Amino acid sequence: MSCSIFLKLDFQLRLHAFSGLRCLSSFQSSGKFDLTDLTHPHTWYPLARRKKRNIFLHVGPTNSGKTHNALKCLESSSSGVYCGPLRLLAWEVAQRLNKANVPCNLITGQEREDIDGARHSSVTVEMADVTSEYQCAVVDEIQMVGCRTRGFSFTRALLGISADELHLCGDPAAVPLVQRIIEVTGDVIKVQYYERLSPLTPLKFPLGSFSNIRNGDCIVTFSRREIYKLKKKVESGGKHLCSVVYGSLPPETRTKQAKMFNDESSKFDILVASDAIGMGLNLNISRIIFSTLKKFDGQYTRELTVPEIKQIAGRAGRYGSKFSSGEVTCIDAEDLPLLHSSLESSSPLLERAGLFPTFDLLSLYSRLHSRMGFHGILEQFLEKAKLSPDYFIADCEEMLKVAAVVDELPLGLYDKYLFCISPVDMNDDIAAQGLTQFAENYAKKGVVRLREIFTPGTLEVPKSHNALKELESVHKVLDLYVWLSFRMEDSFPDREVASSQKAICSLLIEEFLERLGWQRQAKGNYQHNSLLLQQRIQSSMLHKYFPQIKVEST
């Protein structure tokens, strides 16, 4: 998709996100209209309200065929859109449709692939276009309307996509909430329940010794440190090599690691992963082994919820794969009772869906508080927001952290808003520094050239876990530059260089991950792969790096 088309989409999204806001601006001074009243969010989407949509709710456990059936409807439609929670899922669906001779664009925050003649698009849910009409739309993992940080994007897709048929796929726990939300829209809803296609057996005994690890096993843990600790422990036995998958790995690297694990000719026959495997990757897993049933969620350490355990456990025994039936167990016997009770339980019903004010609402509100910075406007608006019982205000802690940074700069409200909704992890020091540098340069010059932030140098394969972590953070900064370049093309003109540098980061990370195994078991193969990697990097002629962000390479 060309950038001009994307910019048109971006402005349409914010200009039409709330019905009648322009007309209501005259009520500001009189106070007759309460901008913080969010009790009727379905009215924000006039195009969707003009239709009587036929909504099909496909619900069931992992590996039940619910999304497959919805996608068959999408393939046979004259026009349509798939909305997924992850870039990896958007990629997979775009590839599937194009392979089926249904031209399909790919649109995510960081990628645009425009296919000639395409009337279908596969997008991440945040990129859903509520200003276009479709014959068919699919929203995957609809239970994520209850996610405290991203739920509002799924609510927006549910209420705002204008399609004759809207297919929603997810957990049965979402059914009553979705039905209540849809009651006020006048749409027709039909629920179809699915059963798992392949058996999943909870084992009555724990793993015990690591000598009991076998091909096709996936060990699940919830910290980066534990992932590499378990990888080392498995590989030290001399019988297996481990692929790894976790959230902070670049999506390209996660895909490569999954392919290595799925490839029967590969020596990487064990997977060590976080809950990032819960969705977005097709994996041929025989047995899921939980190393623990507790995780740190950013605030405190807690037990996994029933939906989390079921989502992860359900990845074993993929229908149509080498392992047509799955098993699940734990490393420690003391975790088995919780595992078994969770798998026998239904997921708790969702009670509320996420909501977040549109930019237009915040813009109008800012006119009433012209002396306040964006941080104050956002914070005060959210404190005063009025909601119906079916909704909650999304957690915007990350946005407020960014707002505190950009409020110090001479930027317009929409520019501040863009930086605040950008995909930055403010808990990552390097990523936070990258955003600050981009915002400061943009405020000073109006243009952010990558060569002003990069200096000539040579990237190397990281030689320690700290160096690996820092390289992952650099990838996040480059990803942020690409995201900004699609929204402010003239001001962030070096998208191609940033994308190429991202690819090099991914190659270096992949090499580090493979090296951990090959050093122990196949030094000859490792050295051969290393030479190929160096040739690929050198041919790119992109030996540039961050001067402000020091990255360990030894």
Per-position pLDDT tens, the chain of length 554: 444 444 444 444 444 444 444 444 334 444 457 899 999 999 999 999 999 999 999 999 999 999 999 999 999 999 999 999 999 899 999 999 999 999 999 999 999 999 999 999 999 999 999 999 999 999 999 999 999 999 999 999 999 999 999 999 999 999 999 999 999 999 999 999 999 999 999 999 999 999 999 999 999 999 999 999 999 999 999 999 999 999 889 988 999 999 999 999 999 999 999 999 988 788 999 999 999 999 988 788 999 999 999 999 999 998 878 888 999 999 999 999 999 999 999 999 999 999 999 999 999 999 999 899 999 999 999 999 999 999 999 999 999 999 999 999 999 999 999 999 999 999 999 999 999 999 999 999 999 998 877 653 456 788 888 999 999 999 999 999 999 999 999 999 999 989 988 888 999 998 888 776 555 554 444 444 555 555 444 443 333 344 444 444 43
What is the amino acid identity at position 10? Answer: D
What is the amino acid identity at position 161? Answer: I
For 241-355, where are the alpha helices, taking DSSP H only?
251-262, 306-313, 336-344
pLDDT of residue 514: 77
**What whole-number distance in Å separates Cα of residue 507 and Cα of residue 537?**
8
Beta-strand (E) ranges in 276-379? 287-290, 294-296, 301-303, 326-330, 353-355
The DSSP bridge partners found for residue 241 are: 268
Which tokens go with 265?
């000719």
pLDDT of residue 32: 58
pLDDT of residue 280: 73
pLDDT of residue 297: 81
Q: Do 425-517 and 200-344 have the same topology in CATH?
A: no
**What whole-number distance in Å separates Cα of residue 69 and Cα of residue 136?**
13
Q: How far is CA 17 from CA 129, 156, 391, 395, in A?
A: 10, 9, 18, 20
Which tokens go with 414?
């929409």
pLDDT of residue 206: 97
pLDDT of residue 524: 40
pLDDT of residue 519: 53
**What whole-number distance in Å separates Cα of residue 161 and Cα of residue 157?**
5
**What whole-number distance in Å separates Cα of residue 195 and Cα of residue 63?**
9
Sign of CA dihedral 160, 163, 167, 169: negative
pLDDT of residue 549: 41
- Give the count of beta carbons closer than 10 Å to the beta carbon of residue 35: 25
Length of the chain, in residues: 554
Which tokens go with 444?
């000073």
User: 34-193 sits in which CATH class?
Assistant: alpha beta
**CATH architecture of the region 200-344:** 3-Layer(aba) Sandwich (3.40)
Q: How far is CA 222 from CA 217, 276, 290, 302, 336, in A?
A: 17, 9, 10, 11, 17
3-state secondary structure 521-546: HCHHHHHHHHHHHHHHHHHHCCCEEC
The DSSP bridge partners found for residue 326 are: 200
Domain residue spans in the chain? 34-193, 200-344, 425-517
Which tokens go with 295?
């995780």
pLDDT of residue 553: 41
Name the strands in the sheet holding 188-193, side by side, starting at the edge strand that comes first in the sequence: 112-113, 104-107, 120-124, 80-84, 133-139, 162-170, 54-59, 188-193
pLDDT digits (tens, 9 = 90+) for 440-493: 999 999 999 988 776 534 567 888 889 999 999 999 999 999 999 999 999 999
Domain 425-517, CATH 1.20.58.1080 — does that match? yes
Nearest 5°: CA angle at 201, between 196 and 205?
160
Q: What is the pTM of this model?
A: 0.88
Which tokens go with 204?
């009555």
User: Which three-class secondary structure state does DSSP give residue 213?
Assistant: coil
DSSP state of 240: -
